[in-house]
Structure 1
Amino acid sequence: MADHARMRLSRVALVPVVFLAVCVLPLAAATPWTALVLVVPVLAAVWVLRVGVDVDDEGITTHTLGPSRRVAWSDLAGIRVGRGARLRLVTRGGSEVRLPVLRARDLPRLAAVSGGRIDVP
């Protein structure tokens, strides 16, 4: 397995964020208080750049706007496909960790970078 695999949104997802920023600029310039609407495109850009999944020899790390969460390979019980084909890691303790930006169609790629630790049915 490769030392480290990163699965993120495509940087092309920043194009609508830039469009959003351009669209809210006139509103933000209207008064000092409406400048707060610029927070929305900034948060959207941070989300596109940060959210994703890292897979390495130690386990899987999920990155969200909040704190990152790491699940070691020894703690992984399986993967559940939920509503909307969203993937969740199921730990041996029974808790679930959402895999952001990954869907059921990404299972073969996830299995490939896991080094055989995840099987695709």
Structure 2
Amino acid sequence: MSASFRAPLPESTPRDRALFRVNPMSYIVILVFLLAIAWPVTTYPLALGWLILLPLAFGWWVARTSTRLDEEGVRVSTWRYRRTIPWDQVKGVMFPKKGFARLVTVDDDSLPMGGVSFHDLPRLSRASDGRIRDPYSAPAPGDD
């Protein structure tokens, strides 16, 4: 009669370790913004009705922005495009002071890696099977 108990995963341990997304708490910001503009928009719909497009655009951005690592390469998805970069084209990862990490290709192109920040570096290294190295982890025995 009892169901099997499965301990919940901590928030810092997502089920899909190779998928990086924008923090889902962003949807709460969208909801608060929508509630904040509801009264002005309903009062003056002709003049301020366009404000509804702002939370919709932000929601589109949150839903579309992601990065996935797999055996083929890195799949970067932004609000404008989706692109797969094979591993032999990946030069490294750059962490700017603001914003998400950026994937640097051998052609010196820089692509935003949505959902990946500096604190995700150990998870990024594990998901890439060591192709993207975590410089702060202990080296494996035999590595120089």
Normalised to the residue count of structure 1, the TM-score between the two structures is 0.87
Question: C-alpha displacement at 1:82, in angstroms?
Answer: 2.1
Q: In proportion to residue count, which structure has more helix? A: 1
Question: C-alpha displacement at 1:69, in angstroms?
Answer: 2.3
User: Is 1:9 paired with 2:22?
Assistant: yes
Higher Cα Rg, which structure: 2
Partner of 1:82: 96
Question: C-alpha displacement at 1:66, in angstroms?
Answer: 0.8
Aligned residues: 119
Q: Structure 1, residues 50-102: CA drift from partner, whole Å, max 9, x if none?
A: 21111111111111111122211010111122223742111111211121222
Question: C-alpha displacement at 1:21, in angstroms?
Answer: 0.5
Task: Identify the match of residue 21 of structure 1 among 26, 34, 55.
Answer: 34
Aligned letter for 1:25? A
Report the aligned-residue RMSD: 1.9
Task: Identify the match of residue 45 of structure 1 among 59, 65, 71.
Answer: 59
Percent identity, aligned pairs only? 24
Q: In proportion to residue count, which structure has more strand? A: 1
**Is this contact kept in 2: 1:85–1:104, CA < 8 A?**
no
Structure 1 CA distance for aligned equivalents of residues 40 and 23 of structure 2 = 28
Question: C-alpha displacement at 1:18, in angstroms?
Answer: 0.5
Structure 2 CA distance for aligned equivalents of residues 76 and 103 of structure 1 = 18
**Is this contact kept in 1: 2:18–2:124, CA < 8 A?**
no
The runs of at least 4 aligned residues of structure 1 exceeding 4 Å deviation read none
Task: Identify the match of residue 105 of structure 1 among 119, 122, 126.
Answer: 119
Normalised to the residue count of structure 2, the TM-score between the two structures is 0.74
Structure 1 CA distance for aligned equivalents of residues 58 and 75 of structure 2 = 21
**Aligned partner of residue 84 in structure 1, secondary structure:** coil
